[in-house]
Chain A
C-alpha cells in the first residue's frame, strides 16, 4: 500500500512536467496544480502510514543508474516526507491562483514544470538510502530551485544573487560529498546500511573529519551563521510559493541530512560536536533575528527569520548530541524531538508567512512594509492567517511553535541533572539564549503585523488592497489550521515523533514529565478561549470615532510609527550587531549651517561579508591572478608543458 502510494507520487511528479509542455491550452489551467496537490496528499498519506508501521519500503533503481540508487522509507524518512508533503500541498493549492495571476505563456509552463521537479528532488533527498541517490537529489534540488528563481528574470543584482546561491550550494554539496567519501574504504557502494555498519570501525580522526565536513556542508544549506550569506539573497527574489518551499522545506532537507548522518549513521559523537552545534545554533538564532528586526522588506525579513529558526533547531540538535555524549538518552530524545518538531512547525508557519507575503504582493504590488498598513481591514482572511503564523513563529502558547520550543527549553533545564560540570552550566544558560531569541522574535513580528496589517494604510496601493483569490486563501487557511491543531493538540505529532526518535536513539525512553505538555495545553486552550468568550458577554455599546490626535486636526498615516522607528530602540541596544556604513553629505560643504541639500545613506553590509567573505574572495582572485602567468598564450610554452608532463609521468612510472 505504502509502496504503491510512494510510486504513484514519484511518477506523478516525474510525468507532470512533461504533461505541462505536452498539453497546452486553456483547459489545462488548473490541472497541474490539482495533480500536484493530489500527489502531495498521497505522499503525506504514505508518510503517515509508514510512520505508523515503521514499515521499510525499498525501491531499487540501481539498474537504471551507473551507481547504486535506492530509495527507502524508514521512520525518519517518513517524517521528513510528511514534512515536505504537508507544507508542499497547500503551497501547490496557493500556486494555482498565484501563478495564473502573475505568469503566462512559457514562464507559466516552466514554473509548473520545475515546481514538481523541485519537490521530487527534495523527496529523493529525504528518502534516499544510498549516498549516490542522496547527492543526486541534493544537486538537483539546488539546480531546480535556481531555475525557479530564474523564471522571474536575471537582471542586475538578481544574477549576482543567484550566482552567490549556486556557488555556496555547490561548495556545501562538495563538503557533503566529501563527508560521504570518507566512508569509502569501509563501505564500497556507499549505501546507508553499510555506512551505518562501518561507522564504529572508523578511526576517531576520520569520524571527526566526517562530522566537520557534514557540519559545514549541511550548515551551508541550512543557513547557519556565518554560512547564511546566500539565504537573504536567494529566498526573497524567488516567486513567493517558491520562497515558501525554499525557506519552509528545502532548509529542512539539510536538517534531515545532518540528523541522518550524525545521529543515524554515526550514532552520535564526543561532546565537543554537540557544543559546536549548540554554539552555531545560538549565534544563528540571535544574529538571525537581530538582522531580521532591522529589515523592512518583508521577504528578506522572513529569510533572516529562517536563519533564526534554523538556529533554534540547531540548539535542540546540539543539546541532544551533548546528552547522547553523556549517556543521558531520555533527555537526548526530548531535545531531538524538540528539534524535529520545530523543523515541521517551521515548515508550516514559514511557508504560511511566505505565502502571506505573496498574497500581500498580489494585492499591493510591494513587500516593503513601510508602504503598507491597515491591510487587516481590507484582507480579512489573509490578515487572520498571517496573525496565526506570526503567533506560531514567535512561539506563543496555543500555537505550534510553542510546543517545540517548550521541548527544547525542557531539555535545557534538564541539562542541570548531568553529572559533569560544563554541560550542567552551559545547557541551562542556553534557556536564556532561547528566551532572548523568543523575545526578539516577538518584537519583530509585532512590528511586522502592526505595521503591515494594522493602523492606517501608508500608500495608495495598500489603501486599495483587495482580498486574494479563493485558491490562495485555501492554501493559507490549510497551513494556519495545521499550526493551530499542532499547537492545541501536540500529541498527534509527538506520539509518532517519539517512534522516530526511538529509531535514532535506540533504547531511549521518553521521560514522563516531558510529554506532560500534551495534557496541559488543551486545558490551557479551554481556559483562554473560555475567558475570551466570557469577556465577550460584557454588555457593550460602541461608537466609531476618529483617532485621538491631541485635539488637533490632520492626523495622517505619515505620523504613525514605521517599521524603522519601531525597531530603533532595539537596534540601538544591539548596535554592535549592525554597524551600518552611514554617509551624510551636506552641500555646499563650506556652509554647513545653511545647506542647499542634505543627502543621507545608510548601507548595512553584515560584518561577515566584510571581514570573512571579502578577504576570502580577494585571496581567491589574487591566487587566480598569480596562476594566470602560466597561461601565456604562446604555443611553444604549451608544448613545453606537455613535454614536461610527459617526462614527469615517465619518471613517475619508472619509480612507482
Chain B
C-alpha cells in the first residue's frame, strides 16, 4: 500500500506537470484580459510533438538525442524524492536533499551540452546564461534546505516533511521564513520564470531556456518541455511539502489520502495563481541583475543557517 502511494506520488508529479503549466498560462491570460488556451493545451502540445519527426542538425553528435532522455530521466528520478500525499517518498534516505539538488544539476548539465551540440550561436548563448543562473542558484538552494533540515533534525526530504507536518499551524520560526523566501527566489530562477527568464519569449537578446532548445524538435523537444514542466511542478511541490505540508496524510487511509490530495491540489492552484500574478506584474530583469537577485537569495539562506545555530 505504502509503495503504491509512493508510486502514485511520482505519477502525480510527472502526470500533472503539463496541467500546472496550462493552468498558469490560463490564469495569466485572464489577468491580461484574454480568454487564453485551455488548461489541457500542454498535453495536446506534447502529443503533437511526440508524433512529429525529429530534426537532427547535420553537425550534431549522438549526444544531441541522448541529452533530452537523460534530462527527462534525471528529472523524473528527482521527482521520486518529493513526498506530496504522505510523509514518505519512493526514493529517500538520510541526506537525500543533496541527491535531489544534484539530480537537477545532472539534468541541467546534459541540457546545456545538448544546447551546445547544434553548433549555432543561440545554443551557446542560452547555455552560457543557463550556466550562470544555475551556478549562482545552487548554493542558496542547498543552504535553504540545509537550514530547514537542521531545524527538523532530519536530512531526508520526507523526514523534514514529517517534522513540519507535526508542527502547529502558525508556528513560524525566523529560519523557516528566511529559508522560504530564499527557496522561492531560487525556485523562480531555477525554473526559468519571470523575472529571470520569460518562458514565452522568442527574442534572442533575452532568452535563456528557449535559446537552448531552439535546435530541438519533435519527440526530443517534447521530452525537454515535459521535463521542464516536471521541474516547475517539482519545485513548487517541494515548496509546499517543506514549508506548508499541512493536510498531508498522517497514516495510510483512503480518507486521509483523499484529504491530502485535495489539500495538495488546493495549495498548488494557489501557488499557480500567485505565480501568474507575479509574472503578469513584474518585468524581466536585465541579465546582469540576475546575480543581485540570486545574491539576495544567497544572503537570506546564509542568514537562515546562522539563525539555526542561534535559535538553539
* B104 vs chain A, min Cβ distance (A): 10
A561 partner, pick from B116, B146, B312, beta carbons under 8 A: B116
Asked if B264 lies at the interface with its beta carbon under 8 angstroms from chain A, I say no
A394 partner, pick from B53, B56, B109, beta carbons under 8 A: B109
Let me know if A446 and B127 touch, CB within 8 A.
yes
Let me know if A439 and B61 touch, CB within 8 A.
no
B304 and chain A: residue at smallest CB distance: A428
A429 partner, pick from B118, B218, B302, beta carbons under 8 A: B302
Q: Give the distance in Å from the alpha carbon of A560 to the alpha carbon of B50 in the complex.
A: 29
Let me know if A535 and B72 touch, CB within 8 A.
yes
Chain B residues near A383: list those with CB within 8 A: 61
Chain A residues near B73: list those with CB within 8 A: 527-532, 535
Q: Give the distance in Å from the alpha carbon of A569 to the alpha carbon of B130 in the complex.
A: 10
Chain A residues near B22: list those with CB within 8 A: none
Q: From A181-189, A546-554, A619-627, A634-642, give the one contacting chain B.
A: A546-554
Asked if B215 lies at the interface with its beta carbon under 8 angstroms from chain A, I say yes
Let me know if B69 and A439 touch, CB within 8 A.
no
Chain B residues near A541: list those with CB within 8 A: 53-54, 218
Let me know if A431 and B146 touch, CB within 8 A.
yes
A541 and chain B: residue at smallest CB distance: B53
Asked if A435 lies at the interface with its beta carbon under 8 angstroms from chain B, I say yes
Chain B residues near A37: list those with CB within 8 A: none
Q: Give the distance in Å from the alpha carbon of A552 to the alpha carbon of B136 in the complex.
A: 35
Interface 1/0 per residue, B36-71 and A, CB below 8 Å: 000000000000001001111111111101001110
Interface 1/0 per residue, A478-510 and B, CB below 8 Å: 000000000000000000000000000000000
Asked if B3 lies at the interface with its beta carbon under 8 angstroms from chain A, I say no
Let me know if A516 and B59 touch, CB within 8 A.
no
B139 partner, pick from A391, A435, A514, A549, beta carbons under 8 A: A435
A-B contact count (CB 8 A): 272
Interface centre among A374, A527, A565 (most CB of B within 10 A): A527
Asked if A449 lies at the interface with its beta carbon under 8 angstroms from chain B, I say yes
Let me know if A545 and B93 touch, CB within 8 A.
no
Let me know if B113 and A439 touch, CB within 8 A.
no
Let me know if A570 and B223 touch, CB within 8 A.
no
A565 partner, pick from B76, B102, B124, beta carbons under 8 A: B124
Asked if A440 lies at the interface with its beta carbon under 8 angstroms from chain B, I say yes
Chain A residues near B115: list those with CB within 8 A: 450
A391 and chain B: residue at smallest CB distance: B109
Known A-B contacts A543-B55, A545-B55, A561-B121; the reply to A439 vs B139 at CB < 8 A is yes
* B160 vs chain A, min Cβ distance (A): 12
Let me know if A517 and B155 touch, CB within 8 A.
no
Let me know if B288 and A572 touch, CB within 8 A.
yes
- Looking at chain A, what size class is its interface with the partner chain? 35 or more
Known A-B contacts A396-B105, A547-B119, A573-B291; the reply to A561 vs B127 at CB < 8 A is yes
Chain B residues near A252: list those with CB within 8 A: none
Let me know if A566 and B128 touch, CB within 8 A.
yes
Asked if A22 lies at the interface with its beta carbon under 8 angstroms from chain B, I say no
Let me know if B116 and A540 touch, CB within 8 A.
no
Known A-B contacts A416-B150, A428-B150, A438-B138; the reply to A454 vs B113 at CB < 8 A is yes
Q: From A126-134, A141-149, A163-171, A405-413, give the one contacting chain B.
A: A405-413
Asked if B157 lies at the interface with its beta carbon under 8 angstroms from chain A, I say no
* B206 vs chain A, min Cβ distance (A): 14
* B68 vs chain A, min Cβ distance (A): 8
Let me know if B149 and A413 touch, CB within 8 A.
yes
- Cβ < 8 Å to B, chain A residues 391-444: 391, 394-398, 402, 406, 409-410, 412-413, 416, 421, 424-425, 428-429, 431-433, 435-436, 438-440, 442-443
B125 and chain A: residue at smallest CB distance: A561
Sample (7) of A-B pairs whose CB atoms are under 8 Å apart:
A396-B106, A432-B139, A432-B140, A433-B139, A531-B72, A540-B54, A548-B57
Given A374-B59, A532-B69, 14 more pairs with CB closer than 8 A: A410-B155, A429-B302, A438-B138, A442-B134, A446-B109, A446-B131, A454-B61, A527-B77, A529-B73, A542-B54, A544-B58, A545-B58, A559-B120, A570-B131
